[in-house]
Amino acid sequence: MLSVTDLALRVPRSPGRRCLLGIAGPPGAGKSTLAERLSAELTRSGLRAVVAPMDGYHLRNEVLRARGALARKGEPDTFDAAGFVTDLRALRETPIGEPVPWPLFDRAIDEPTEGGVVVRDKDIVVVEGNYLLLTDAEAPGWAEVGELLDACWYLDAPRAVLTERLLHRHTAGGRSAAEATVKVTDSDLRNADLVAASRHRADQVLTAVDAGYRIG
């Protein structure tokens, strides 16, 4: 069993340039929590770290509505994959000290917010999202992501845990229990199956157990 402190020691170091660590996994696995805990631990140890979530690249609701895709929000083609890749490349190529704006996602309004965080002097960026390990055959536009990361970890969770967390997320966001069930079964869990097929490409696979993480 590894603590977050143990995991922080496993983060690649890239003297003189920024390190990009990916945290991939299905929706509801706890990627955001792990990314935030890891960033805080890295900062506590004297490094300069920040979280850059993939969620800020959701297409806006008006765009999804026009495409008839709003009910599928969260699936690979409902994100701006090209913009995500472009900004990842900027994180990779921009010298430390120069600003790189990064959008965030505001769950209160269910929309992305431009320039939600500006990465400037950070040595390590923890990039978390569902689709970091996909190939273009699985979802067009995502294959370049993995090539831009120094390493990518996969956070796994049992299907029953994913289902419970996702149902709670959707009902907390205003959906009825019936609407949440449809969203989870018809969209979220299909996404989880797609993401699971990329699991073998990760540098290491983690599962949350109590306050720690198990490898494998």
Q: Which of 208, 195, 202 is nearest to 74 (CA)?
A: 195
pLDDT of 30-52, one tens digit each? 999 999 999 999 999 999 999 99
Q: Is 132 helix (H, G, I), strand (E, B) or coil?
A: coil
Domain boundaries, the chain: 4-215
pLDDT of 69-79, one tens digit each? 998 898 999 99
In 10 A of CB 149, how many CB atoms?
A: 22
pLDDT of 171-188, one tens digit each? 988 889 898 898 888 888
Q: What fold characterizes domain 4-215?
A: Rossmann fold (3.40.50)
Share the mean pLDDT of the chain: 93
| CA atoms of 183 and 189, how far apart (whole Å) | 9
Q: Are 77 and 25 in contact (CB under 8 A)?
A: no
